[in-house]
Amino acid sequence: MLEKNFSIIDYLVFGVFLSFSTLIGIYFALKNRKNPSKDEFLTGGKNLDVFPVCMSLIASFLSSNTILGVPAEIYLFGTQYSLHLITFTIAVLLAANVFMPVYYKLNLTSVHKYLLRRFGMNAVRLSGSIGFILCTLPYLGVVLYGPSIALASVTPLSVTTSILVVGVICTFYTSIGGIKAVIWTDVMQTILMFSGLLMVAIVGSIESGFIESWKIAYNNNRLNIFNPTFSLYRGDIFWSVFFGTLTNWTGTYCVKQTQVQRYCCLGSPAKAKKVLYWNIPGVLIISFLAIWCGIVVFAKYNGCDPIALGFIDRHDQLMPYFVMDTLSNYPGLPGLFVCCVFSGSLSTLSSGFNALATVTWDDFVKRYFRDIKEKKQLMITKIIAMSYGILAITIAFFIGRLGTVLQAHHALTGSIAGPLLSLFCLGIFFPCVNAIGAITGLISGIAMCLLITIGTIVYPRPRGFQLPVSVNSCPAEIIEHISYATFTSATQRHYSVDYHPKGILQIFHINYMYISFIGFIVTLIVGPLVL
């Protein structure tokens, strides 16, 4: 069993990281004190620089779910994940050449104002805004809770401590410093995430051998980049990964306020397009590092799987377990990795708080406070941002008590994200669609997705397919510390490739990767039919 060996230097590294994030927020709060403005707070006066915005977009791609989840995905299912890189590139090209020019011409603060301009009905705009809030706020709670519980299993940092410290600090610097604090902390956090992933990849390759690590992965079917098998019930094949991630990334970069707000805050459409294009190689490099980390983690534990042995409980604990197992003898390196993980959380949380404050102010609150002074408007937007931070912390604790919420999170998010993307596509690509058709299509898409999602919660599907793992090569000293029943169970694990549900379960057990795409298609079909 792994000991939680965290040195004083590790704590110091983590403390310095949190302190710098806080100081950046304080700096921009003091800098903007002489000329307080809600527009400066929410959009940076729409005069931001290319480099920090590009780094900020990369940071948003690299949430803590990416740092912890991608290596686990490679470990369990192989490199089918790499298809994300193709769909991500398509999504960015669509954002740069189709959606961004439309938003920039309209000079929007909230992207949902486009819906009002296009359909002429405020109900459509509010539907988009409410959908964004319902899609984003629970996600922020998961982003805060997920890495906290993963790290608590292998480090002395408790779940409660992690949630409170990270949540409070992020809420503080976001609510006082605005979007400039968000973007410049993202720059620091992107560098830390890159450093942490690179550190794990290099150390793992030195230990197992770079070529040998990839050979082990190949011999155990982990280098399965293209699997043409079609099934509605598997998430590790070409079709589910391609259509699921294409819908996800297109929705994120083309219509989601968190991303749109930043690239539309540059001085010109040319700069916005440059930021989006430069975002592609940055994300590709860091995604490769995450995949590489998954390969070296698998190479180390091939034949002695820590999950099968019961040493850890969750797949997203593999990376922290590997770091503590491999690097705990080097004071400061485990602390650097913890900074890397929480950088992913902070970047996602801060951009989410700022975007939620922007949408809430522009779409709901602004109309009631048009005539008050600019300083009071700024104070209201800061209070809104702070309130969302407190809500996210509360949700993180609530999720800790409800495991089913955490398990169903991706499906619930997709239930709204896919139809929302389709709503904007109806506006841009289907000039014949009216407001009633748009709302009807949106409701139909969300209803279909929720039917599948709720059905999955009520009638849970059996354990899905994963590539085989083994404990047959464990050292004798490890075998001595586990029970015979645990060892027997671990060696006999089997996961069926084929799953063919019957009756209503044919709908309820559709893999979550398809849910956002199904919602997108339903909305796209229903919208034009309603005249």
Q: Which CATH number applies to 8-27+40-406: 3.90.226.10, 1.20.1730.10, 2.60.120.10, 3.40.50.300?
A: 1.20.1730.10
What gap in Å lies between CA 36 and CA 379, rounded to an integer? 9
Partners of 266 in the β-ladder: 48
Q: What is the 3-state secondary structure (H, E, C) of 342-387?
A: HHHHHHHHHHHHHHHHHHHHHHHHHHHCCCCCHHHHHHHHHHHHHH
Name every residue whose Cβ is closer than 8 Å to that of residue 441 and which is 6 or more positions away in sequence. Answer: 419, 422, 423, 426, 433, 522, 523, 524, 525, 526, 527, 528, 530
- CA atoms within a 13 Å half-sphere pointing along the CA-CB vector of 38: 25
**Contacts of range 111-117, beta carbons closer than 8 Å, 24 or more positions apart:** 111/255, 111/256, 111/257, 111/260, 111/261, 111/264, 112/257, 112/359, 112/363, 113/362, 113/363, 114/424, 114/427, 115/423, 115/424, 115/427, 115/438
Reading the block at residue 49, the tokens are: 């620089």
What is the domain partition of the chain in residue ranges?
8-27+40-406, 408-462+499-531
Q: What are phi and psi of 507, to 5 degrees?
A: -95, -45
What gap in Å lies between CA 381 and CA 199, rounded to an integer? 39
What gap in Å lies between CA 290 and CA 78, rounded to an integer? 12
Q: Which 3 state secondary structure label does DSSP give 392?
A: helix
Reading the chain (531 residues) residue by residue, the pLDDT tens digits are 555 667 888 889 888 988 988 899 898 888 877 677 777 888 877 778 899 999 988 887 667 777 888 898 889 888 887 888 899 999 999 999 999 999 998 888 899 999 999 999 999 999 999 999 988 888 888 888 877 876 776 677 788 888 888 899 999 999 998 888 889 998 998 898 899 899 999 999 998 899 999 999 999 888 877 778 888 888 778 888 899 889 989 998 999 998 998 898 888 899 999 999 999 999 889 889 999 999 999 999 988 888 878 788 777 788 988 988 888 778 888 888 888 888 888 888 888 998 999 999 999 998 888 778 888 888 999 999 999 999 999 988 877 554 444 444 565 577 888 999 999 999 999 999 999 999 999 999 999 998 988 888 788 777 666 677 777 778 776 766 665 555 555 554 544 556 788 888 888 888 888 999 999 999 999 999 987
Helix, strand, coil: what percent of the chain each, to 5?
A: 75, 0, 25
